[in-house]
Structure 1
Amino acid sequence: MKKILILEDDIKIRRILQLELEHEGYEVVQAKDGIEGLEKFKNEYFDLILLDLMMPNLSGEEVCKKIRSTSQIPIIVLTAKEQLLSKVSLLDMGADDYITKPFEIEELFARMRVALRNKKTYITEDLITYENLKINKELKKFYKNDEEIVLTKREYALLEYFMLNKEIVVSREKILENVWGYDFDGDEKIIDVYVNILRKKIESENEKYIHSVRGFGYIFKKKGA
């Protein structure tokens, strides 16, 4: 069940959204202002945030900036503002989408489905997820389909670097610098050794993640059979 955080100061709108979302099968948590919303965000895991711009204590713009400083969770803004500049600025500050009040609930559901479908990586201070993979940075643990897979310190560091740079081609030089350190003076083929170990631990016949880019480095991207 997907868990949605609603940050909205209008109690009637919050209640309507709660009832409609729960009817669609979502789990819903509400916050009446930006400060309360940030506290709930810090203490619980959510799949998506519905964020009102005009809130007391802390504006939606400020909430969006604070969340984006630590997380890539999808954010859909609920705004009564009509100015184009406001909407463009909102997307620039990190919102995934916006919808102008009043709106049809089916349109909101459609936008939510798109945002959730496009959600591949969710990074917070302690959590990185990609597809069915998850890293807990605080505990230095890795999970696939919520089952822990034990990694050595170096294997973990390499996988974390790949997941932080998912779907981006990274050079061997960058991998050595970030995983082994600038003072490493060994053979860069050590990367291939650890990549092969990781492949055996995290991949299957139908799921491939680490792909060689000939003459350059690697790309971390899920591909099925």
Structure 2
Amino acid sequence: MAKILVIEDHTDIQALLHDILSPKHQVFAALDGISALQSFADHQPDLIILDLMLPNITGESVLKTIRKTSNVPILVLTAIQDKTKTVALLQAGANDYLTKPFDIDELLARVQVQLRTPNSINNLNNKILSFNEIYLNVTTHEISINDHPLILPKKEFNILKILLQHPHQVFEKAQIYEMVWGEPYIDAENTLNVHLSNLRIKINELATNPQYMISVWGIGIRLI
């Protein structure tokens, strides 16, 4: 059973997609861009169905934000008929798109194709993230460092999960905040810094290497 995040602000379409997908999949719903990013961080879906016309944060912005840290398959639903714009969506990171109104059988077929995508970091078999002596189980939320268990609050857990998904990659602070908090990075540096500091201290208390999380001056955070 795959986890599918449906990001759609029209409740009737949202209900329709839930009804046709839920018999075989676990379906999560988001009605706007902010809740979409939060739900993505919380559930780590195997597939996203994304509407473009969303409140708060546009679908295009949600797509770009998710693509900074994840290769999860994204199927876009759009009323746009302009081929130039739909090509731009694919170039921005969408895996496929359907124009509204859509055929249910065609949507189900495209969902099936995307769930067979082998390159997704969120595929059905990839629930354990590891980096050297750090292990994180996405399903059970269990973490161990140097064979010692570690319990983290939700925000710190999601920060560590993002870093583990792409070891060695430098993440801008704004990227991390928007993915974990699901809102724009405005006057939020102190909040994020407190969480990063707490997470770094907890990791260093258990790790053999006291410098797992480092700050790249002027850019962001990475694992090393």
The two structures have a TM-score, normalised by structure 2, of 0.58
Deviating runs (4+, > 4 A) in structure 1?
Answer: 129-133
The question of whether the paired residues in 2 share the 8 Å contact of 1:121 and 1:130 is answered with no
For structure 2, the 5+ residue unaligned runs are 147-163, 169-224
Mean alpha-carbon deviation: is it higher for 129-138 or for 8-17? 129-138
Match of 1:10 in 2: 10
Match of 1:82 in 2: 81
Match of 1:194 in 2: none
Deviation string 1:37-81 (CA, Å, 9 cap, x unpaired) is: 001111112110000011111111000000000111100000011
Match of 1:94 in 2: 93
| 1:32 aligned onto 2:26 | no
Tell me how many residue pairs correspond in the alignment.
Answer: 149
The question of whether the paired residues in 1 share the 8 Å contact of 2:21 and 2:27 is answered with yes
For CA contacts below 8 A with separation 6 or more, give which structure has more relative contact order.
Answer: 2
SS at 2:22 equivalent: helix
The question of whether the paired residues in 1 share the 8 Å contact of 2:2 and 2:124 is answered with no
RMSD: 3.4
**Is the alpha carbon distance of 1:55 and 1:71 closer, same or farther for their aligned partners in structure 2, counting shifts above 3 Å?**
same
Separation (CA, whole Å) in 1 of partners of 2:100 and 2:2 = 24
Separation (CA, whole Å) in 1 of partners of 2:119 and 2:133 = 22
SS at 1:99 equivalent: strand
The two structures have a TM-score, normalised by structure 1, of 0.57
Greater strand fraction, Structure 1 or Structure 2: 1
**Is the alpha carbon distance of 1:103 and 1:3 closer, same or farther for their aligned partners in structure 2, counting shifts above 3 Å?**
same
For structure 1, the 5+ residue unaligned runs are 124-128, 153-159, 165-225
The question of whether the paired residues in 2 share the 8 Å contact of 1:50 and 1:76 is answered with yes
Separation (CA, whole Å) in 2 of partners of 1:76 and 1:133 = 22
Q: What does 1:14-163 align with in structure 2 at a 5 Å threshold?
A: 14-23=14-23, 25-122=24-121, 134-137=128-131, 140-141=134-135
